[in-house]
Structure 1
């Protein structure tokens, strides 16, 4: 995983009001935790940060320039406004090259099981340990040609090189089942005719 270089500014004002002012300047409030140091509160350039997170996913690795010093930071949480869909705040954890980190990686199911089956993803993420600068962006699980009744557990998933499984090996990741058969609803015309016949019979009885 390559790191995106971002120039960050330290901030001394906190609270909702300060955060709103930062966002009005097209910047994003953020904080970096880790290595036993006090949290570093920052403001990041809005567009550059948004593109970095978009391109590198949930575990994006950024190289932050803070007062001229470089700090590798692994994305841990991104808060997004539900209505405007803009980034409100980002939490990072400070890391070093060669350091091992524990992260949740998204599972991507690829391929097609045989006809007449339904593929259910029971685990959307797997927790792995990996080197901070080589965190995989996703984990692929192939269901190509699998039959109904096939189950894939965490222990059977091929992890990217350098990653170690932390999730319980017996966790069900993918379950291939028989496709559900949906009964066709009664023909609308027949139903309408039936209702018309009932209406006419009721009218005759009334006479």
Structure 2
């Protein structure tokens, strides 16, 4: 299950070009929107946001506590505008989800272990996929799915999406035939005499 991340937010009344003053004060303008709800302008602490995203990642489920609201909102990061395209964040879009309704998400694959065909037969590991699409309730989205390379014991074996184990409440949407990893045989060099 994905790590629960909490971010504090305050309702925002400053809009348009005046948000530059917010940024100078260390606040990051953001919007929260979702199906069946009105978009709400909020602002969050820029440093707290940067720390949270660095530790939890861009795919984390976020519990957004908006000042003055009795219960938190469950949101995912839907948009992130950065200064100059790659600099510091200047605006965030959060998509509010219902924790009881399944959504589609991309989950990274974490390759672990050692492939016997690499270790014993001097092959080269060829990873083919690094994320898979899943469908589950937002609070059940795994932060990563671990894939053991131990089954790759020859050059004829491929590790596919259908071979991986996921928690029972997670449905894999990626085609089970898609290859996650294989091992290529070493190239043999014949020295000229």
Interval of TM-score (by shorter of Structure 1 and Structure 2):
0.7 to 0.9
CA–CA distance in structure 1, aligned partners of residues 74 and 57 of structure 2: 16
Alignment of 1:4-43 (within 5 A): 4-15=5-16, 17-43=17-43
Q: Distance in 2 between matches of 1:180 and 1:32?
A: 54
Query: What TM-score does the superposition give when structure 1 sets the normalisation length?
Result: 0.74
Bigger mean CA offset, 167-176 vs 130-139: 167-176
Between structure 1 and structure 2, the one with the greater Rg is 1
Structure 1 unmatched ranges of 5 or more? 185-207
For structure 2, the residue ranges without an aligned partner over 5 or more in a row are none
Is the contact between residue 29 and residue 42 of structure 1 (CA under 8 Å) also seen in structure 2? yes
Structure 1 position 138 matched with structure 2 position 144: yes
Quote the offset at 1:13 in angstroms: 4.1
Match of 1:157 among 145, 155, 164: 164
| CA separation of 1:128 and 1:183: change in aligned 2, threshold 3 A | farther
CA RMSD of aligned residues (A): 2.7
Deviates more, 1:172-181 or 1:106-115: 172-181
- Is the 2:76–2:94 Cα contact (8 Å) retained in structure 1? yes
By relative contact order (CA 8 Å, sep 6+), the higher-ranking structure is 2
| Equivalent residue number for residue 103 of structure 1 | 105
Equivalent residue number for residue 90 of structure 1: 92
* Structure 1 counterpart of 2:47: 47
Partner of residue 169 from structure 1, selected from 169, 176, 179? 176
